[in-house]
Structure 1
């Protein structure tokens, strides 16, 4: 069985965990009323996770260019292979788009992004309340679409493992 590289597996699972954590934290923090120290701390953590996901996405794309992923199983139809490739490209798009729109939304709100409390990510533009109102739902809906796409990705992997009984899931497991 051809497998993904250990580096690709590590980046995949680390990215997945960070996305789930950032998504969950995003839901929790936005439900906290008012502006509390806890809410501000959660927003900072959410931003740190988003920036880390974005950095991992860049590393992941570079790694994938240098290290081809395993071929689809011979038992997979051409249509399934195209659907799998399409879903992967869509997930890559979302892995970039969600943190970028979050960063742009934060910048438009006039709030600095200070990564891990160590350094400030430069703002590309000044606060813009009108742009903030556009970016808020864009960031939210991209997150909801990502949640649905991740669920579909997981269900497809489980289908391959339990129904098709092929190596699709096993080749990405640590």
Structure 2
């Protein structure tokens, strides 16, 4: 069985956990007590996702993914590739849109209080800030739906089709 490299698997699972955590924090941030620093943690996790995604892209370019099973229908291969492309796009767009929004605000941006992160030179009136805000509010819902589809497809391969698709990433 062809498997992803250990580094690819570690990046996959680390980013997956961080995404799930950040989606939960983003969706429920108003439910947390006001004195909890939920949004600074959310922003730090987002920056971590962005950095790990860039590393993951470089790793993937140097270490291609194992081929999908030959018996897999062409439409299913296309759907898998499209889903993965959308995941990578969201792993870049959502953290960048959050960074742009934060850059237009007055609050500092830092990474887990360890160091300051430079802000982009944008103001609240800039079109890119409005576009980023819209993307940052809408795209997490698409991401959650894609995650559900991705997990469902992986479980289908493992439990129903009984092939090695899921085991390649375990």
Specify the alignment match of 2:7 in structure 1.
Answer: 7
Specify the alignment match of 2:161 in structure 1.
Answer: 164
Instruction: Tell whether the 8 Å contact from 2:100 to 2:122 is kept in structure 1 after alignment.
Output: no
- Structure 1 spans left out of the alignment, 5+ residues: none
> 1: distance between equivalents of 2:51 and 2:142?
21
> 2: distance between equivalents of 1:101 and 1:43?
14
Distance apart, 1:163 and its partner CA = 1.4
Specify the alignment match of 2:135 in structure 1.
Answer: 138
Q: Give the alignment partner of residue 95 of structure 2, picking from 91, 96, 99.
A: 99
Structure with the higher fraction of residues in helix conformation: 1
> 2: distance between equivalents of 1:59 and 1:71?
21
User: Normalising to structure 1: TM-score of the pair?
Assistant: 0.90
Distance apart, 1:44 and its partner CA = 0.9
> 1: distance between equivalents of 2:153 and 2:137?
24
Specify the alignment match of 1:81 in structure 2.
Answer: 77
Q: Residues 58, 134 of structure 1: CA spacing in aligned structure 2 closer, same or farther, 3 A cutoff?
A: closer
User: Normalising to structure 2: TM-score of the pair?
Assistant: 0.92
1:61 matched to 2:57: yes
Instruction: Tell whether the 8 Å contact from 1:3 to 1:171 is kept in structure 2 after alignment.
Output: yes
CA-to-aligned-CA distance 1:139-173 (integer Å, 9 cap, x gap):
01111111111111111111111111111001101
CA RMSD of aligned residues (A): 1.6
Query: Helix, strand or coil: the match of 1:170?
Result: coil
CA-to-aligned-CA distance 1:96-116 (integer Å, 9 cap, x gap):
111111111111233221112
Runs of 4+ in 1 over 6 A off after TM superposition: none
Q: Residues 134, 85 of structure 1: CA spacing in aligned structure 2 closer, same or farther, 3 A cutoff?
A: closer
